[in-house]
Structure formats: C-alpha cells, structure tokens
C-alpha cells in the first residue's frame, strides 16, 4: 500500500503495527488452512481417511492470534481445531497430511494420535491429547517455568467453550491468576460442543469468568482478525510485563459438523449454518485487503493455484509415506536410555 497524501488515514493494520506483507501473509495462511480443511473433508468422504475434525470458520482468528506470538520464545498449546494456528507458527501442509494419514513421519505423533492432536517440539507446540481442557494447567506450568527461570516467554492455550466447563479450566485459570503468570487463555467459542449449544453449556459469559480469578477477560469477534490481533497483542504485552494472564473469548461459529462422524442436522438446521456462513471472516478480510489496495483478483487466482499445488504435493507425499512399523508401535512407553540426570 502506498501512502501518497499526508491526509491519508493510516490503515487499521498499520495502526496495529502490522505491515502490508504481514496482513497478506495472514490472509494467505487463513486461505491455506481453509483449503486444507476442505481437502480433508473431501478425502474422508472419498473413504481415503477415516476421520477429520474441521476448523472451518475459526481460521481468521487463529491466524491473527498466532501473529501476536513470538515463535522463538513462546509456547503453544493449541486445541484440535487450530490448524490455521499451527500452520502460522510453522507446521507444514505435508506434516498435517502426514498426521491426517497417520503416517510414521508425522511429527505430531508418528500417526499414533488422531489428526488435530498437535505436538512438535521444534515448533514449540506442546503435545496435546483428546480429553479436553487438560492442556490448560499444562500451559500454566509452562508459564510457571518461564517465571521460575526468568525467561520472557508466554504460553498460548486454546479450548472450546464447552471445554471451559471442565474443572481443569477453573483450576488452571485460578492458579495462573494467583501467581500472575504469563499465559493467555483462549476460548474459541464456536457456539456448539458437538450437539450441545452454548445456552445449554453455560448461563454466563465465558469471558466474565476471568473476573473471579482477578484478571481481565475480553470477548472479541473472531471474524475480525485485526481486532483479534489487537486484543492478543495486548494480552501478550501484559504477560511479558508481569501483569499476569488474560482470558480471551473468541466468538465464531462452527461451520462444519463437529467431526466427520457427526450428523449436525440432528441438532441444527441448514438455514442456521447458512446464515452464519455469511459472516465468514475470510472473504471479509479479502475485501479489507482489496480496499486497502493490497489484493486483487489476479493475486487471488495465483494464490488459489499455488495452494492447490501445495496441497496436491503434500497429500501425494503423505499418501505414499509408510506407516510406523509394527516393530516401533510399542516404543517410547518409557525413555529408552536413562537420562544422565545432570542438573544445570
């Protein structure tokens, strides 16, 4: 974007300290996550994989949140819909497909865990599991480790709004509140926990729960990535300044069924889903970029072609890749070599 006249107002993203390049990258990553996700749904319907759990609708906020983090120092404890988040912090499409096809080379679990169960030390992504919300106290533990060592590191942890009703949410938040730990709790409120709508999960607002733990809670529109970025950046700064945790409730809508095993029309209507599809943050962000003079149809076509190629290559690689050998299937129950036990 060229700013010719001095009267020209600063763009929203520039005001937030985001460069043009960055917002373009944000858009591209959302789109990459979206197309990856759609491909997974397709592969499952085609019978090529057994299972996929989709993040469609939540990508704009996930990318924005990741952009507010420090990839060299922070720790990431994403939940199972955070494809766009992990793509932003550096996981590759090839790695995601390796996980989808449950292949040995999958860095997340060597094809042991379901897709969407992220973990990759190289990328500072902490291994996650299926029982929801267990990662919340873990993130607090990472934040505590940072405090104990005097390191400038922030822990990001996400979970659904249904999952925020687990005891571990409460215990983890309260612990972090007492010790003013550098952790950001992100509730990705997509309106449903499988079939159970928000109104049957809680009568309160998730963001308000922070009050009871003595730190700020913020609700933000997940379809507005720039606002999500702003809120996250603020939380990140609070964390680094020793001001403690923040709870962020990102409002979105789960456009896909819960997972490929779910028939969502048993509990919601097509019309409801279609109504929410209109609020999709990705086209809105494309419009923003277009209006800012940073995007056009040509670039869009180029991007789509590029992503398609990336997907095709990554998928082909993962499809061909071998499963973990059965000889290795039972390894790593315990450490194979005793650690030296050396202190430091």
Partner 1 sequence: MPVIEYIEAIRSAMKEEMERDSRVFVLGEDVGLKGGVFTTTKGLQEQFGELRALDTPLSESAIAGVAIGAAMAGLRPIAEMQYSDFMFPATNQIISEAAKIRYRSNNDWDCPVVIRAPIGGGVFGGLYHSQCPESVFFGTPGLKILAPATAYDAKGLLISAIRDPDPVLFFEHKKCYRLISDEVPEGEYTVPIGKSRVMREGDDITVIGYSLPLHFAMEAAAELAREEGVEAHILDLRTLQPLDREGILEAASRTGKVLIVHEDNKTGGIGAEVAAIIAEELLYDLDAPIRRLCGPDVPAMPINPPGEKHFMLNKEKLKTAMLELARY
Ligand X SMILES: Cc1ncc(C[n+]2csc(CCOP(=O)(O)OP(=O)(O)O)c2C)c(N)n1
Strand-pair partners of 184: 156, 246
**Quick check: 246 and 185 in contact, CB under 8 A?**
yes
Helices in the chain by DSSP H: which ranges?
12-15, 20-45, 59-67, 83-89, 93-100, 135-149, 167-178, 198-201, 225-240, 270-277, 281-291, 297-320
Q: Which stretch binds ligand X (CB under 6 A): 190-198, 260-268, 288-296, 323-331?
A: 190-198
Give the whole-angstrom CA distance, residue 310 versus residue 49.
Answer: 19
Q: Could you say which of partner 1, its own copies, ligand X, none residue 86 binds, taking C-beta under 5 to 8 angstroms by partner kind?
A: none
With CB under 8 A as the contact rule, the residue among 15, 42, 178, 329 that binds its own copies is: 178
Q: What is the dihedral of CA 225, 227, 230, 233, to 10 degrees?
A: -50
**Quick check: 184 and 239 in contact, CB under 8 A?**
yes
**Quick check: 232 and 249 in contact, CB under 8 A?**
no
Which residues inside 130-149 make contact with ligand X, applying CB under 6 A?
Answer: 130-132
Which residues inside 248-287 make contact with partner 1, applying CB under 8 A?
Answer: 261-262, 266-267
169 binds its own copies (CB under 8 A): yes
- With respect to its own copies, which residue has the nearer C-beta, 76 or 185? 185
32 binds ligand X (CB under 6 A): no
**Quick check: 284 and 57 in contact, CB under 8 A?**
no
With CB under 8 A as the contact rule, the residue among 8, 45, 48, 200 that binds its own copies is: 200
330 binds partner 1 (CB under 8 A): yes
193 binds ligand X (CB under 6 A): yes
Q: Could you say which of ligand X, partner 1, Mg ion, none residue 46 binds, taking C-beta under 5 to 8 angstroms by partner kind?
A: none
Give the whole-angstrom CA distance, residue 69 versus residue 152.
Answer: 12
Give the whole-angstrom CA distance, residue 154 versus residue 139.
Answer: 9
- With respect to its own copies, which residue has the nearer C-beta, 112 or 179? 179
Smallest separation (angstroms) from ligand X to the CB of 281 = 16
128 binds Mg ion (CB under 5 A): no
Smallest separation (angstroms) from partner 1 to the CB of 262 = 8
Q: Which stretch binds its own copies (CB under 8 A): 38-46, 203-211, 257-265, 274-282?
A: 203-211
Give the whole-angstrom CA distance, residue 49 versus residue 230.
Answer: 38
With CB under 6 A as the contact rule, the residue among 194, 218, 240, 273 that binds ligand X is: 194
162 binds partner 1 (CB under 8 A): yes
């Amino acid at each position: 974007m060229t700013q010719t006249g001095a009267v020209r107002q600063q763009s929203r993203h520039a005001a937030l300290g985001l460069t043009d390049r960055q917002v373009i990258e944000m858009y591209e990553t959302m789109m990459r996550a979206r197309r990856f996700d759609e491909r997974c749904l397709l592969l499952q319907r085609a019978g090529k994989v057994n299972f996929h759990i989709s993040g469609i609708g939540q990508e704009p906020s996930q990318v924005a949140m990741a952009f507010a983090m420090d990839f060299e120092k922070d720790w990431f404890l994403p939940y199972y819909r955070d494809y766009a988040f992990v793509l932003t912090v550096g996981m590759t499409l090839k790695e995601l497909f390796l996980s989808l096809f449950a292949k040995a080379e999958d860095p997340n679990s060597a094809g042991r865990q379901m897709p969407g169960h992220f973990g990759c030390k190289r990328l500072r992504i902490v291994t996650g599991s299926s029982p929801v919300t267990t990662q919340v106290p873990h993130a607090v533990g990472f934040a505590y480790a940072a405090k104990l060592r005097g390191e400038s590191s922030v822990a990001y942890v996400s979970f659904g709004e249904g999952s925020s009703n687990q005891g571990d949410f409460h215990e983890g938040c309260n612990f972090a509140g007492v010790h003013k730990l550098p952790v950001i709790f992100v509730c990705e409120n997509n309106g449903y926990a499988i079939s159970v709508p928000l109104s049957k999960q809680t009568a309160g607002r998730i963001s308000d729960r922070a009050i009871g733990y003595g730190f700020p809670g913020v609700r933000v529109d997940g379809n507005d990535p720039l606002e999500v970025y702003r809120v996250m950046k603020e939380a990140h700064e609070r964390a680094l300044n020793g001001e403690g945790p923040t709870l962020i409730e990102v409002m979105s809508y789960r456009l896909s069924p819960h997972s490929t095993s779910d028939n969502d029309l048993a509990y919601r209507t097509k019309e409801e889903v279609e109504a929410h599809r209109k609020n999709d943050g990705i086209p809105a962000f494309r419009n923003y970029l277009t209006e800012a003079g940073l995007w056009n149809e040509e670039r869009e076509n180029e991007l789509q072609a590029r992503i398609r190629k990336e997907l095709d290559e990554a998928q082909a690689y993962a499809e061909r890749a071998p499963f973990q050998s059965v000889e290795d299937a039972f390894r790593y129950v315990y450490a194979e070599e005793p650690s030296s036990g050396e202190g430091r």
